[in-house]
Amino acid sequence: MEEARQRRELLNALAAIRSHSQISQSTVAKRIRTSQPAIARLEAGIIDPRLSTLQRYAASVGKRIQWTLVDA
């Protein structure tokens, strides 16, 4: 459950950054070589994205993902 919450928070943050930056889903899709509907599904949490997809999405809006390891 915690992992799902963290993934949802990350996706929400990426979508908020995209929206705040006035970057369309279509633009993100073109930048990471996917379709706009795929970006919509990603932001809606319908699909479970790969790490590489999240990294490309972040880069497309001028950000990078920083990971931290913590005790389980």
Using CA atoms, how far apart are residues 19 and 10, in angstroms rounded to an integer? 14
Owning domain of residue 26: 2-60
Residue 67 belongs to a domain: no
Tens of pLDDT, residues 10-36: 999 999 999 999 999 999 999 999 999
What is the CATH number for 23? 1.10.260.40
Q: What pTM value is reported for the model? A: 0.89
Residue 68 belongs to a domain: no
Using CA atoms, how far apart are residues 63 and 12, in angstroms rounded to an integer? 14
| Mean pLDDT confidence for 48-67 | 95
Q: Which pLDDT value is given to residue 3?
A: 86
Contact 39, 47 (CB under 8 A): no
| Residue 4 CB partners (closer than 8 Å, separation 6+) | none
Using CA atoms, how far apart are residues 37 and 2, in angstroms rounded to an integer? 27
Residue 2 amino acid letter: E
